[in-house]
C-alpha cells in the first residue's frame, strides 16, 4: 500500500477502537455501504496493513509478568542468522533491526525472573550475538497505541482534501 486514503484511515481507526466490530456496524458508523466496508477491510488485510483487527493479548493476565528489551550487538554479516535463531525462541515476541547502540532490539516475555534469565541465556546463545544489554519493563507509562497516529493522519488527509 502506498499511502492510506481518508477512508482507509477511518476504517483502521474504527478497527483499532473496536477490534470485534462487524462489517455491517463498521459501515453504519462510517456512513458507507456494507460492500464498501467489506472490500476495504479485505484489501487492508490482503495488503498486510491489518492482521487480526488489532486484537491484543494481556501477557500479565496470562501469567507473563516480566517483559524485557534486549539490545544485541551482532557480528558483522551474521544479522540474518541471528534473527532466524531468535525467531525460534517461543518467548521472543519481536525482533527489530535498529541503529545506534546495537543491531537488534528483542522484546521477550517470561512469567518469572528465573525463566526470564533462561530466555536471555537462549538469546545470548544465538549465532553471531556478541554483546547484549537488557532492560526490564517495570510499568507501561504509555501503552502501545496507534489510535492517536491514525486520528492525526485523518486530520491531515481532511486538510489536504480541502
pLDDT, position 55: 57
CA 16-21-23 angle, to 5 degrees, is 115
Q: How many CB atoms lie within 10 A of CB 11?
A: 27
pLDDT, position 38: 95
Average pLDDT of 101-119?
97
- pLDDT tens by residue, 140-156: 899 888 889 999 999 99
Burial 61-76 (b: 16+ CB within 10 A, else e): eeebebbbebbbebee
pTM for the full predicted model: 0.77
Residue in this structure with the C-alpha cell 519481536, named with its chain if needed: 94
- pLDDT tens by residue, 31-86: 999 999 999 999 988 888 887 555 567 788 889 999 999 999 999 999 999 999 99
Average pLDDT, the chain: 91
Cell of 144: 502501545
- pLDDT tens by residue, 129-142: 999 999 999 998 99
Position 2 pLDDT exceeds 70: no
Q: Is 98 or 51 the better-scoring residue by pLDDT?
A: 98
Amino acid at each position: 500500500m502506498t499511502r492510506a486514503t481518508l477512508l482507509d484511515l477511518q476504517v483502521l481507526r474504527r478497527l483499532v477502537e473496536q477490534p470485534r466490530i462487524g462489517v455491517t456496524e463498521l459501515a453504519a458508523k462510517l456512513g458507507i455501504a456494507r460492500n464498501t466496508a467489506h472490500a476495504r477491510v479485505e484489501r487492508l488485510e490482503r495488503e498486510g496493513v491489518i492482521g487480526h483487527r488489532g486484537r491484543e493479548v494481556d501477557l500479565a493476565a496470562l501469567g507473563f509478568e516480566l517483559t524485557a528489551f534486549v539490545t544485541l550487538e551482532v557480528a558483522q554479516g551474521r544479522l540474518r542468522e541471528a534473527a532466524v535463531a531468535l525467531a525460534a525462541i517461543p518467548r521472543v515476541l519481536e525482533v527489530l533491526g535498529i541503529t545506534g547502540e546495537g543491531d537488534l532490539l528483542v522484546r521477550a516475555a517470561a512469567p518469572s525472573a528465573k525463566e526470564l534469565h533462561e530466555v536471555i541465556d537462549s538469546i545470548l546463545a544465538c549465532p553471531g550475538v556478541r554483546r547484549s544489554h537488557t532492560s526490564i519493563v517495570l510499568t507501561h507509562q504509555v501503552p502501545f497505541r496507534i489510535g492517536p497516529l491514525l486520528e492525526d493522519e485523518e486530520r491531515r488527509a481532511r486538510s489536504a482534501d480541502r
